[in-house]
Chain A
Amino acid sequence: MIKTFETPPPFASQWFDPLPPPALSSGTSCRLHGRFHELAPHLVPMDYTNEPDIRLPLTLIVTMPELKENPFRNRIVEVFSEDGQGNLSFNDFVDMFSALCETAPRELKAIYAFKIYDFNGDNFLCKEDLEKTLNRLTKGELTPEEVRLVCSKAIEEADLDGDSKLSFSDFENMISKAPDFLSTFHIRI
């Protein structure tokens, strides 16, 4: 059993057998464990063979430099946490970065993007969700009138079935045509 951090273990097979390697390479997984450990050195053990159930709270995760400047950092962590409150176990941590890495497929990213932008969790992106998204993006620099206008135009563009809110199919259809999505929706770690 590899206890120290110097020799990178054959990560997936060692600790999470028979889990297939995630979209990240084994080197990256090892690095991820290092980052997870860094966040709370006294809580996170170096040895995961006994699969301890350590969960880090949201407030700790969002201090990571990759997430610090992201306006949606709270939502991202909440979406990937099992309890929905933002407490990530290491599994969830790896899951999160795996889904957000460059090589993750578009469909996967679309699903998680939908969940991230769905603030009230009703499986629809309604006007309030959009307004919250926009306010997080511009940090309140737009006037309320402009925010309303932009949101109504966005719904007008993407809504296919005319119910003035975006279901997942509307969202996926729209995001498949959004040219910037793949290049912006990834976190490099």
Chain B
Amino acid sequence: MELDSVFYTDRSGIPSNLLLDQLPSYQSLLYRRKPAASGSTKRRSSSRTRSGSSNSVKFGQTTLVRQYEEKQRSPTLRRPIRELAKPMAEKRSDKLERLEQAKDLSGWSQWRQSTRRTLRRLREESAELLSNLQLWRGDIHVIEGMFGTGILSYFSFLRFLVLLNFVMFLLMFSFVILPIVVAPHASGNATYNYANGDWVVCSNYPSTTRRGLVLFQQHITDLLSGEGFLEQTYLFYGYYKVQAINFSQFTYNLPLAYLLVTIAYLFLSLIWIVKRSASGFKRNLVQDEDRFQSFCNKIFAGWDFCIVDENTARLKRSSLHYELKTDLEEERIKQKIAHRTQKEKCRIYMLRLILNGFVIAVLAACFYAIYVATNFSQSAQMTKVLDTTLDCGEQLWENQYLPSIVITLANFVTPLMFSFIIQYEDYSPAFEIRFTLMRCVFMRLASICVLLVSLWGQITSCKESPCVCGYNHVLYPCWESRVGQEMYKLMIFDFIIIGAVTVFVEFPRKLIVNYCDCGLARWWGQQEFAIPNNVLEIVYGQTICWIGTFYCPLLPAICTIKYFIIFYIKKVSLVNNCRPATRPFRASSSNFFFLAVLLIGLALACIPVLLSVAQIQCSKACGPFVNYTTSWEVLPRAVDKLPAGARSFLLAISSEAFAVSFFVITFLAMFYVIALAGAHKRVIDQLREQLAMVSLHNLPGFTPL
């Protein structure tokens, strides 16, 4: 039986399979190979295999193989023996061979080899140790075993967010809060800032601590709404009135630190997310570039070899079956679309236009409702100080939480509407799912924007326009704290809703479906863990955290705790109440999808933060930026105080000349990379044709023209 010569691949010039070796992807694979867990990198070696396992024929040693083995005598072109596809007995003989060869080497090469081996083993062991230290490793293994890799990706995404929030909290804490707390102990004295000059009129900040006899319920209300006693704590922006901390050796400029930490955490989140999504993005690009390989992927990589449970195996089989049927259906629909007549096309497009218009109208209505609710809530909060007849419950739910309630209701109703409407728009099933998701993402994230815009409208509208201080200092003496409170309320309410839905909807549903054999149970069915909706929920929470951290520096800590608890809530709910989804969500594409949505959330969160840092006047009654017009002004002033060399360097970097040349160079690099990609694509197409021609040549009876 002839050996397939494509099993031999090496760089020492034996013509193995020239065509495949020339493929750009192959070359870059050779160059950039990351072996799983082992340290050996750019070496390729032979990987002999058995020819035919259904009979016990020992493969013959062709001259090719012997020549090849001789080339392999050099010790540098070697893979670890364990990575070779040989039976154990052969690996042992190989090892003996290598040991003999090693004795022939000089002491220097021997030492190098043994060091390399030790380093590799060290690396592997540390990687194993690090992976053991991962948070929730055991829980996630259990979930993977029971529900497969799709749901696993949701939980590892949740874990990633817990870590991200924790790191953000550490940043904020160590650069902003820690110096203030440590100052008295480290013999540093803090200087506080007071508004001076023209801004004195804006600096009147009435105290919000409650006076007199405070009812117990008031404390609960304050805790849930961030007002009262919470407003005068490190939780909110307004409490950071320190201007500078004078330690013995240096002066710590707190406003500068506050601003730089804000920029740092946004930048860090961006880098971390992009790094995590890079591999998924490359895979998606490759998939789109090449023919989409859904069938092959399902047949050869569809079965999860980790499954040990009979029920899970049955479910996996039915989900594979469902996936294949869906793909066949997609093929059928593609054929149908290709054969559409003109009249049908017109009808479909008209219908789509009308339905999209309807969707936009619904979205506009929701946004208007949020706008009205925010305005009502803000004005109610202004007047509540005077009106003491309102009891706590009403105050809380009708005034404070009204925007949150409206947003949650809108986010609950609109996905149902979207999934109903899209059935009539006659798209292919895969596109339907993606499009509905996109609409839901837009709805969720845009509702936060609408809330912020209406808040901003309220803050910057005064009786006499334009406002004296740049903002309404009568109603909002410390507007940043107020925005921070709104974000805090959104976050708390989101957490309450997730917990409440789990306890009051999912558990009863399970009880009803399991124990009551009525029509309701049959229609409702068992709970399915809907991954996209759950992901949107936590992305929404994370966006609020990103926006709110500037105004409420301890928000990342609250978010960490919130996601930590949500992990356990979701896990318990999943294990007890849910069955695996009939529409399986593929792990590979879902990772990329989650991170893409998170990136959209980050981009959306950057806009309000950067706008308010650069454009809106900071309040003169509270916060670290009292003596500056806008928060951004801290930077130019700090740069002015630097020594001349550093100052001129920084000024040069921020000048137009540098920016223009930087952009020009970036564009040139981009054009080069695009041209390279185009050239590779052409080479790939040519090589494919060559392959087809070569195999045609090899057919018996082929006579070239």
Asked whether any CB of chain A lies closer than 8 Å to the CB of B342, the reply is: no
Q: Mark A94-131, 1 if CB is under 8 A from B, else 0.
A: 11001110111111100111010100111100000010
**Closest partner residue, chain A, to B89 (CB atom):** A91
**Closest partner residue, chain B, to A187 (CB atom):** B305
- A183–B82 alpha-carbon span in the complex (Å): 20
B37 contacts A19, CB within 8 Å? no
Interface size of B in residues (CB-CB distance below 8 Å): 82
Asked whether any CB of chain B lies closer than 8 Å to the CB of A6, the reply is: no
Residues of B within 8 A of A18 (CB): 92, 95-96, 99
Residues of B within 8 A of A154 (CB): 295-296, 299
**Closest partner residue, chain B, to A84 (CB atom):** B53
Asked whether any CB of chain A lies closer than 8 Å to the CB of B638, the reply is: no
A115 contacts B302, CB within 8 Å? no
Q: Mark A113-156, 1 if CB is under 8 A from B, else 0.
A: 10101001111000000100110011101100010011001100
Q: Contact size class for A?
A: 35 or more
B300 contacts A181, CB within 8 Å? yes
CB < 8 Å: which of B52, B299, B324, B691 contacts A121? B52
**Centre residue among B306, B309, B327 by max chain A CB count within 10 A:** B306
A71 contacts B47, CB within 8 Å? no
Residues of B within 8 A of A98 (CB): 82
- A22–B81 alpha-carbon span in the complex (Å): 9
CB < 8 Å: which of B124, B299, B301, B304 contacts A150? B299
- A32–B81 alpha-carbon span in the complex (Å): 20
CB < 8 Å: which of A79, A103, A180 contacts B37? A103
Residues of B within 8 A of A95 (CB): 87-88
- A157–B82 alpha-carbon span in the complex (Å): 32
Asked whether any CB of chain B lies closer than 8 Å to the CB of A5, the reply is: no
- A71–B304 alpha-carbon span in the complex (Å): 10
- Given A111-B47, A137-B317, CB of A99 within 8 Å of CB of B688: no
Residues of B within 8 A of A173 (CB): 20
Q: Mark A26-52, 1 if CB is under 8 A from B, else 0.
A: 000000000000000000000000000
**Closest partner residue, chain B, to A76 (CB atom):** B305
A188 contacts B306, CB within 8 Å? yes
- A184–B608 alpha-carbon span in the complex (Å): 42
- A115–B7 alpha-carbon span in the complex (Å): 12
Residues of B within 8 A of A134 (CB): 299
Give chain B's interface residues, CB within 8 Å of chain A.
1, 4, 6-7, 17, 20, 25, 29, 35-38, 47, 49-56, 80-85, 87-89, 91-92, 95-96, 99, 124, 128, 141, 149, 283, 286-287, 290-293, 295-297, 299-310, 312-313, 317-318, 320-321, 324-325, 327-328, 331, 586-589, 688, 691-692, 694-696
Q: Could you give 20 example pairs across A and B, Cβ below 8 Å?
A: A23-B82, A25-B128, A82-B89, A105-B37, A108-B84, A117-B300, A120-B54, A133-B299, A137-B317, A138-B321, A157-B293, A167-B4, A167-B6, A168-B6, A177-B290, A178-B296, A180-B149, A180-B586, A183-B588, A186-B305
